[in-house]
Structure 1
Amino acid sequence: MDRRSFLRTSAVGTAAAATGTLAAPAIAQGNTTWRMVTTWPRNFPGLGVGAQRLAERITAATDGQLTIQVFTAGEMVPALQSLDAVIDGSAEMSHGAAYYWQNKSVGLSFFTGVPYGMTSRELAAWVRYMGGQEIWDEIYDQFGVKGFLSGDTGTQAGGWFSNELTGIDDVQGMRFRTPGLGGQVWQKMGASVTNLAAGEIFAALQTGTLDAAEFVGPYNDLALGFHQVRKHYYTSSFIEPGLATELVVDKAKFEALPSNLQRIIEDVCQAEYDQVASDFYANDPRALATLVNEHGVTAHSAFPDSILEAGADAAKELLTEILDSNDPLTKRTAESFVESLNILRARTEGTDKTFLDARERFFDLDDLG
């Protein structure tokens, strides 16, 4: 999907949905309608489509007892006000990324992506089996909401730049779109960092308000058209090794649902976490081939070592600051994350990486046939 057709489709969907923007939750014949606001454009590959599919799955699995009406970015509220819409009661659900709300609690960033932190499999293991969900619940309890993992992009791309980066000196003063703890790491490295919603990034690059930007990866970035204004693309991020999206629900309304409907929401979120991951795994490499072969993008697999090393030093410095936080819950979140990562990396680096290294060295499929 090219940028123009994606934006046309998005605009049509926005106009169609706007007529129902102010509708209140409806209860008729035992059926309830909830409103979900998202941070994504309508029909946005992977993320927006995943949010819509999640809503449709809940509606279908409950046989319409709980119908989810989706409002994409800007249809009810601006993208980065989605969580606030649930907190203030304007919506019952939001679909986004927890690190967008780190101004409410730094601890929320740990449930999206941490520089040099957990891969998506590690993150799911921490949340589901190592106490992460319980800590996440405590953070969101302060705001009357509850979060669930709802999507997985895998390791994201490093971003779009005007020129090839030769070292850490090239980062100094760079105006860079990147959110969360990763944004703080790039800032420690010398960049000037800001966060923008998906639909705002292209114009900022085109006008020169931004020098560089990262969003997700080839599947999304192709649709957003970044290749039209930047040609140097770093395909592996060190700040977002396993990004997760979240579904947030109004906790009181969630707990008022019958237990079977609560379970359906939980199970659909878990299914979508894996479904979205498969979508990105299948379509990122194909989108990257399109960017390189049809649009003249120069793909770089990794940043220069001086940038990677500076990023690691900045990440350790940032984690140390958070571990020394005066907020007990933020401190406990970081402690749980670090303790769990030290356990989980034995599997990832000792087993998975060993296999991947062997496959890369010895198993060339071009030799077959």
Structure 2
Amino acid sequence: MERRKFLKGAAIGAAGSALAAPAIAQGAKTMTIVSTWPRDMPGLGVSAQRLAARITELSEGAIQTEYYAAGERVGALDVFDEVANGNSQAYIGADYYWTGKHPGLAYFTAVPFGMTFAEINAWCAFGEGRALWDELQDQFGLYGIPAGNTGTQAGGWFNKEIESADDLKGLKMRIPGQGGQVMSKLGASTVSLPGGQIYENLVSGSIDATEWVGPYNDYFMKFYEAAKYYYTGGMHEPGAQLSLTSNKSWWSSLTDTERAIISAAAAEENAASYYEAVALNGEYLQRLQDEQGVEVRSFNEDVWDAMGEAAMEVFEEAAAFDDLASRINDSMQKAMRQYGRGVALFEGQFVENRNRIFDIG
């Protein structure tokens, strides 16, 4: 699917949603949503726009969403404070951007060697994740809902091959969250740039490498113009959960029905964004190789092991921040081991043998 066709379809869908609801519903509530993603960015940006439109559609116009992409109302990384201060009602983004406020926020997006899409949703829905997330966000006057997931992300784009952990020393890389802390421990110089600023920094040489999402999202970012080596499966975001996070006072002012409508729309998009990535990543990985000459690589075991050792240090440092951070880390680690064993013994063995027998991959 070409970008222009995809965006045209998204625009038609958004327009259809608007037409399905009354133009101005009697007594409608306004929900101003700010986002960390650029407008019409395939994948993340379109997902956020789709969610905003869906809230208005499901509510039959009772909740009128006003959506602002990154930079249209506030900067991409300013949306957290914008909503915490009550200037807008909600943001759509990735909470690991704000680990400087509290390291526990990373656990509700992604942490190195952490949870996959199914696992993080299980933790938040049926484990301790929901209660811990509430306790953490209460400190900032916020309330978050899972509203998207990228699945396991690519290891990233590099302007040279990574054959050992030593190759990471001195590397300038865009990688946020705890994944960035892991890379820093291995000698890389890391920065956390919003999506709209990555390309220019990579092309100019201000950075040597970047992670973003996966083949479908990355295809349109044109990182291949400056970095030809594309690494599969990274350690940093095994199932990055995105959130629709509201100002808690505003959220509490809604009726039970209004909260249920917003939650339902978010749950739809949480699943849809992941399914979209699964459906399109294979196609776009092939296109990157065939059309742009991208060289696909995988990290070797030595690099993986070095990252793993660094990740253990990062977890210890995060847990030492305060009691809540310690409890979040302990809960995630326990759940990851419980869920991970079952996944490996059932799904893992099945996929490994299916792919072997049918020569997939």
Whether these two folds match at TM > 0.5 is yes
> Whole-Å Cα distance in 2 between the matches of residues 96 and 65 of structure 1?
24
Of 165, 187, 192, 1:190 maps to 187
Instruction: Please tell me whether residue 119 in structure 1 is matched to residue 123 in structure 2.
Output: no
Residue aligning to 1:57: 54
Of 70, 77, 101, 2:98 maps to 101
Moved beyond 2 Å, runs of 4+? 320-323, 363-366
1:303-318 alignment to 2 at 5 Å?
Answer: 303-318=299-314
Q: Secondary structure at the match of 2:74?
A: coil
In the TM superposition, what is the alpha-carbon distance from 1:320 to its structure 2 partner?
A: 2.2
Of 288, 291, 294, 1:294 maps to 291
> Whole-Å Cα distance in 2 between the matches of residues 97 and 43 of structure 1?
17
Residue aligning to 1:18: none
Q: Secondary structure at the match of 2:57?
A: helix
In the TM superposition, what is the alpha-carbon distance from 1:40 to its structure 2 partner?
A: 0.4
Q: Secondary structure at the match of 2:220?
A: helix
Q: For the Cα contact (< 8 Å) 1:2–1:222, is it kept in 2?
A: no
Q: For the Cα contact (< 8 Å) 2:146–2:243, is it kept in 1?
A: yes
Of 167, 180, 186, 2:177 maps to 180
Instruction: Please tell me whether residue 327 in structure 1 is matched to residue 322 in structure 2.
Output: yes
Number of aligned residue pairs: give it: 346
Residue aligning to 1:360: 355
> Whole-Å Cα distance in 2 between the matches of residues 288 and 257 of structure 1?
43
In the TM superposition, what is the alpha-carbon distance from 1:206 to its structure 2 partner?
A: 0.9
Instruction: Please tell me whether residue 140 in structure 1 is matched to residue 133 in structure 2.
Output: no
Percent of matched pairs sharing the same residue: 39
Q: Deviations over 1:167-211 (max 9, x none)?
A: 111110100000001100111111111110011011111111001
Residue aligning to 1:210: 207
> Whole-Å Cα distance in 2 between the matches of residues 365 and 330 of structure 1?
41
Q: For the Cα contact (< 8 Å) 1:2–1:223, is it kept in 2?
A: no
Question: For structure 1, which runs of at least 5 residues remain unmatched after alignment?
Answer: 14-26
Q: Secondary structure at the match of 1:216?
A: coil
Residue aligning to 1:224: 221
Q: For the Cα contact (< 8 Å) 2:25–2:61, is it kept in 1?
A: no
Of 325, 332, 341, 2:336 maps to 341
- Residue identity opposite 1:51 in structure 2: A
Instruction: Please tell me whether residue 44 in structure 1 is matched to residue 41 in structure 2.
Output: yes
Q: Secondary structure at the match of 2:349?
A: helix
- Residue identity opposite 1:40 in structure 2: W
Q: For the Cα contact (< 8 Å) 2:103–2:321, is it kept in 1?
A: no
- Residue identity opposite 1:318 in structure 2: V
> Whole-Å Cα distance in 2 between the matches of residues 56 and 167 of structure 1?
46
Residue aligning to 1:20: none
Q: Secondary structure at the match of 1:339?
A: helix
Q: Secondary structure at the match of 1:149?
A: strand
- Residue identity opposite 1:342 in structure 2: R
> Whole-Å Cα distance in 2 between the matches of residues 71 and 85 of structure 1?
12
> Whole-Å Cα distance in 2 between the matches of residues 204 and 365 of structure 1?
36
> Whole-Å Cα distance in 2 between the matches of residues 363 and 222 of structure 1?
27
In the TM superposition, what is the alpha-carbon distance from 1:322 to its structure 2 partner?
A: 2.5
Instruction: Please tell me whether residue 269 in structure 1 is matched to residue 253 in structure 2.
Output: no
In the TM superposition, what is the alpha-carbon distance from 1:365 to its structure 2 partner?
A: 7.5
> Whole-Å Cα distance in 2 between the matches of residues 2 and 178 of structure 1?
27
> Whole-Å Cα distance in 1 between the matches of residues 340 and 145 of structure 2?
23
- Residue identity opposite 1:311 in structure 2: M
Q: For the Cα contact (< 8 Å) 1:2–1:225, is it kept in 2?
A: no
In the TM superposition, what is the alpha-carbon distance from 1:57 to its structure 2 partner?
A: 1.1
> Whole-Å Cα distance in 2 between the matches of residues 326 and 297 of structure 1?
41
In the TM superposition, what is the alpha-carbon distance from 1:334 to its structure 2 partner?
A: 0.6
Residue aligning to 1:253: 250
In the TM superposition, what is the alpha-carbon distance from 1:164 to its structure 2 partner?
A: 1.5
1:4-83 alignment to 2 at 5 Å?
Answer: 29-83=26-80
In the TM superposition, what is the alpha-carbon distance from 1:326 to its structure 2 partner?
A: 4.3
Against the structure 1 CA distance between its residues 297 and 365, is the aligned structure 2 distance closer, same or farther, given a 3 Å change threshold? closer
- Residue identity opposite 2:313 in structure 1: E
> Whole-Å Cα distance in 1 between the matches of residues 51 and 25 of structure 2?
22
Q: For the Cα contact (< 8 Å) 2:34–2:88, is it kept in 1?
A: yes
Question: For structure 2, which runs of at least 5 residues remain unmatched after alignment?
Answer: 12-23
In the TM superposition, what is the alpha-carbon distance from 1:58 to its structure 2 partner?
A: 0.8
In the TM superposition, what is the alpha-carbon distance from 1:316 to its structure 2 partner?
A: 1.2
